[in-house]
Structure 1
Amino acid sequence: MNESNNSHQPHHPAFRAAVSANFTAEPIRPVLAFWGRVLNRELDLRFAPYDQILQTVLDPTSEFAQNDHGVNLVLCRYEDLGHFESYGTETLQRLEEIVQELTGALRSAPAHLPAPILFCLCPPSPEFAADPACAASLERARRVIAHTLGETPGIQCIDYTEIDRTYPVENRHDAEGQRLGRIPYTEQYFAALGTALVRRAQAMFMPPYKVIAVDCDNTLWRGICGEDGPAGVTLDGPRRMLHQFLLEQREAGMLLVMASKNNEQDVFDTFAAHPEFPLQLRHFTAWRLNWESKAGNLASLAEELSVGLDTFIFLDDNPKECAEVADGAPEALPLVLPEDIEELPEFLHHIWAFDHPVITEEDRQRSTLYAQTLEFGREIKRATSLEEFIAGLNLRVDFQALAPERLGRVAQLTQRTNQFNCTTIRRNEQEIQALLADGRYRCFTGEVSDRFGEYGLVGVLIVERREAEMRVDTFLLSCRALGRGVEHRMLSALAEEALDNGIYSVSVAFRPTSKNMPARQFLDSVGFGTVETAGDEILYRFPATELQALRWKPSRLDADAAAPKPKSKAKAPAVRRFVEFARIAHDLRTPAQVVNEVRRQAQAALAHSTAPDAPASDVERRLAAIWTELLERPATSVHSNFFDLGGHSLLAVLLLMRVKEEFGVELSVDDVYSGTLTLGELARTIEAHQLGAMDADEYHALLAEIEGLSDEEVQALLQQEEQAGENGQY
């Protein structure tokens, strides 16, 4: 399989984020909407009824049940599960019982919900956290949640401690918001919460990157090994962290390669001279150390590894080299190291492309498995007799029904596999689970080994049992297992399964894409059966008795398939639309930056208003930006009415909170709960409170008096005030 992210996909409806929370979570809306714009993804945001998490999970008509293209977000504050007035031994015990009930329902939910669940345990109030008994109860609940949901297919978990590490906020809690509308968090913490949720959801649905290509001089180490000498380069703190980071990515399944303009021997000598480096030559699967273009070298590495260029992340300290890669290999993701190298650790920590929501055992072994595959390729090219080589391969294919603990790996293969994939149907864990719950479908897996080593679970068959045939819905095989006859063994085993069930026909659906020609070539090579075409699908139908005897007969063509292919001079078109990962890591890595950008966009929506009654004063303009953000429509007139523009009681509470944060003014509920509330009137009220010496009516009277003065009278008054100040009269 040439594993690539560039498979053709049909147009999908808007990505839906359905939110269920046991506190007022609507303040997260502008943050989620903002990230939708950053990620160029059309978002459909839905909120389930307040404090009905369990009902939303179980109800077959709920927002969760109707979400068939997106993610279901559960936001849970532990102390709010019971809404008790106080917390003693009995109430804390009841809270822990509720957690057991909730996690039990969540654990079974993926079987009947079409979209995955992202569960977030949100932070407790300071008062709850400060009580030792409450804190101990919360810790027990955290362990239950991690144990019960952490390994459940179709559910991802985020803990507030994880959010604190990645997006720290000094003041998380808003006591006034909690009192007014059960809104427990500040605007900045809602920004942190929303960003963490979007980041995890992005990782869950984003085609994965698989290869990290790195430059050497002034990237992997400080200095130039060809000039300073192998012993003359050094490893400073940020670059040592880069080594550790790359090793962690390797452990998570990424392949490490080098693409650097160096003499190869200089690089080898540098590693040999520095055994203290965390990264060593053995950690790299392949390299191109020469003076050719890095774009060309990345393409060559992609060929060698049988992966798409769009699965490459390229790290270099030189902006020019990254620009050339962007031009010459536009599918790859080039990242320039920060100019201030001290920022490197934080920069890497906020590159979303490095996130891995699920790490399987095959991921942990990927570098070893690729090394075995490369050795296999070298051996097969040296073989004088392919038949003799295969006879001594000692191939073993363990064909069995899907084990529940392997569901994550199967879903991962449907997402990653392109070349040997007959239909390229992408499914997540709960979609596969729901399919198998139907009763008509079964899933079989193939785990492969040979004399070169263990390859793990590399083959998948999803079949539908029909009245007179086994219909193959999904047939895929990882590129690591190609060229050995594994595909023949798997279809033969499926034919045996069909015959054991009294079924005498096996059909395989094939849908052509730009990448899966090897799968079609295999089906064409079977040599018996019939072929039908219906629309964009080709159906291969085989007699099970003949298919049972299917065996691979290697030809010279099979050996040639492992040999290097001539390089194409034509530039491959860029298919993938990149997320601005570098911009996020530079400019949107803190909650404060996110809040500022959300506000800036709201202000930008008002910037070009030329209406005579447009907000003019500083308070009016800042207040208009808040209204625009909350109401999700521009407030372009001082006469705009908050409730006519779509305001309601919850938004009025949020308005009170935002005014306090923005202006330092604490308004009463009566100040905003008015059907005639206009932007101009509220701005005057805020200004009056800022003055502090008079009430709003007095302020309006004074403002009217000042507006009636001539320029000369205003100037005379100002001079009088200055003289009074100099004489110490106030």
Structure 2
Amino acid sequence: MSAAPTNVVRYEVPHGDFCAYLKGFWKRNLEWRHFGASFKHLRSTNNVVFIEEDLDAARQPNSQFLRWSFGRTHKKQDLASAYTVQFIPDEQGTFMEWSFEGVTCHGVFKPEASVAILNFCLQDSMVTITYRVLDANTMAVCIVDVDSEHTPTIQYGNMYRINPSKRVAIGGTFACDEALAVPLQYLLNNAVWNVDVDLQWLRYGSLTGFDDWSADVLHAADLVLLLIRLSDLEAAHPELHLTKKRDDDMGTKVGMDGDPIQQFVRDLERYDALATTAPLVILVCPCPPTTATRFDSVKREMLRRIESMSNVSAQSSEQVMGLFQQQYSTAFYDAIADKRQHSPFTQAMLNVLSLSLCRQICRLFRTASSRKKVIVLDCDNTLWGGAVAEVGPGAIDLAPRFLTLQRFVVAQQQRGMLLALCSKNIFEDVAEAFEQRRGDMVLDLDKHVVATKINWQPKSENIAQLAKELSLVISLGADFSESFLDQEWVFDESLSTKAGDPAANANTKEDRQRTQLYQQNVQREELRESSSTHKAFLSALGVKIVFEELDRNQDLQEGSSFTRVLQLHHRTNQFNTATTFAKRLEEDVLLEYAAAPGHTVVCAHVTDRFGHYGLLLAQLPRA
């Protein structure tokens, strides 16, 4: 916790032009509650709002018309037009007028407060919608609906601008045809939410010359993905290998200064030196099995040099093959297709490459506000194959594709994510499956899973209950389920607001023990419910707070305490009293601050009878 700033920074809509700000796709996530003492939760909704200029509206001087459409997805065919708002600028703000259900409604936008108020005076109710602009891509929303019986209902949440289309350039040293493009497009359309990508495929054969391929991507792409086979860099087509010397003679030439592979690495260094280029990711693809070992040393050297580049990264062929072997037991290389059409990989390998490309593309859309805290998993046909209630624990399928998912979620759990089970099943059957097949599974029910909802209730209700028990705001996504129907229900009725988790790459002690911390919270909640008074609960809890000054030299070696302090400062909540300063705080700034005369970093660790809460408070006082 840091000292409060003297002023609060308010986002100003550029030029006060609320119309220009509104245009585009938005995701609106709302909690519905009855207004009153109980503030009873009714439901959660999220929908897409599309705001565009209404070209059919009558033209009037000094005014604009924006059409508001609502739907479940950002596809235009799924959106229904609701009303068109006329915006009339004035010295006092921007006035709004529109017709809804035959009633003329009015509103106003006040640029000095970055707030818009829309009033719907309808026959059966009075609705007031307040939008507050928080930043370039976020608005807070509050809707108060008073019906004819004077019963108020409140909806509150946020609107997030759906990411605009990202331009991704993809090229390869081999032919990248429909066999690769089709599965990639399928993943982007069906397996990833809120990703709008414009794919640009680079010309075949252009990667051998920097001027050829760089001209296609400079200032035109948000991300560049290059699929590289080192054997292709040495010879642009497999048939050209026939004109070269034998492999053992050629091996002495690979990696020399005049070698085309070295020239390609120098091209990457030229690209990295350009300040305005998009991030570039090299996916090193496996060479033909007969020549693979010849390129090992030059491949290691290339990856080593790429590591020193700031705007170029690489995924090794070993990583690609590891992903392939987790999914398939078939061949990855097609020698005939390689020779005939320079398309060297089987469809199975192309599916894996499309998955790798999709993952790299999704990194474009990751922001602090979209990082998740919980992964909710189904069981049947997700963690294992088959329905455990039908086939029994001994007959469930634990093929590599299921263990791959288990391995992935366990890795996320060890980085601080929470794992929960939500399955339409009988709990005893699921528990027995984990117990009997413990030696065959990667996921452990007791060790890795923080909470379960295994029953026959709608998944949306179960996830909402999980969020309540874990004291978390439900986050969009992070649901692994067999049933697409269940997923649609969950996404549209339960997943309501985005939850931010700062320092995504951090791995502090608190991150690694997060599952244990939440399990301890369950015990605390049980104690609270069994206590006669809140005072008795606190007394039985035995909370202890230990303050300490961060030892700069010691913690530089361990790293986790400084990382944890950064995490606390980057969080946006009511406990962070200096958000403007905190968001600028990076590791080098923190270390410089701690080393300055008169500066200290004070931390607080909290424990009770159930365990250690972790480092929960950081204060940066100045003399």
TM-score normalised to structure 2 length: 0.47
Structure 1 or 2: more strand by fraction: 2
The structure where helix makes up a greater share of residues is 1
Larger Rg over CA atoms? 1
